[in-house]
Structure 1
């Protein structure tokens, strides 16, 4: 299976959930279900880095690309996510070009960045990989996904897009709606127009755009509009919907 970064480069549209539950079986189910990627959420989920590595292992075995969302724009968190073998690192709370550049540097080995070199990590096969091949290839194989959040991030979007090394610029629909004066109206025509404008700007910079959706119908619509990286709800929410639908159907059945 092609790496997530390569699939994005080829223009593929990929679809995957956030994973908050702390169990590798969730990643196995995601892979068996046919998702392209899963975002292992250490920002809002229950996961620590020592559990996240097992989630990455399960994802790889199940054929779903593992992305780790770290809980801050900190070099040690970004490096750890990549050391454990994530195919992509998703960094939240990016509000400026300076912050975007710092995140990219943390995710890249020299000369492109400042990521610490260690070949005794899972990403390097615990030293099984040739060190020159590993250090030379990692920058080209791992995806850097930056979440533009808040009014500052939306205002600085054009400047952020000038940073080299970003693979996906992830724009939260609720932040964007607030910046347009239509808070919460994530299907408003003005928001759609703004996203389409952002997509053109990102495409010119060689960067894919990411977007969050709550339901499959919305995902399909944004897919038709050209979004490449679509994150879909979260495992806990999807489980709740399925459980509650079944429970209601049983309780409302009249004998």
Structure 2
């Protein structure tokens, strides 16, 4: 006699097994995400200088000759509970000053307390900041794409009054975080693009893990506020690469 109840139970079990293996990801609350950050150097230089004028065109051409078309960096984002720690996985020395000053960035974010601690290394000098997480005005869309094996939803955002950002987040990682200072979406950000600055961050791998350990990070170096960074950079950069002050202002602003 056929045991229909047993057949039903086996069928349901198989559906759950194959559904978990080949369908939707299970929600993750702790793990490590590996990100690849890519910078289009030559496109950045065209933005820095007015290439419609002979001096601007020469400057852009000179900077272009000094660098590779693209810089590629690798970072990891560790997440536990409602905390994240973003840090470099390796160090790549860039001839693009804008890339170089962020190549060793590290950011600890406590999303519960709405607090971040950031570390930056500028020509071997370490500085750090304590501040509130960056505020981004997000607008969700219906567009989707798969990143590192996860189904992601596109969101468009604006921060700093006018800087446009495109993000892709997954609800399968139950944390409103992301690389660098990007956060504030209903899931983990696995992809970021800053079109005007020609910079992208995309996850290449996600490692799940089970842990109750909390993330904590204290960064070494001189403490400064975000408003003090431009003056600090000017003081550090101008003697190092021997450029005029007005040239620095053109590059940075």
TM range (shorter): under 0.3
Decide which structure has greater strand share.
Answer: 2
Higher-helix-fraction structure: 1
User: Normalising by structure 2, what TM-score?
Assistant: 0.23
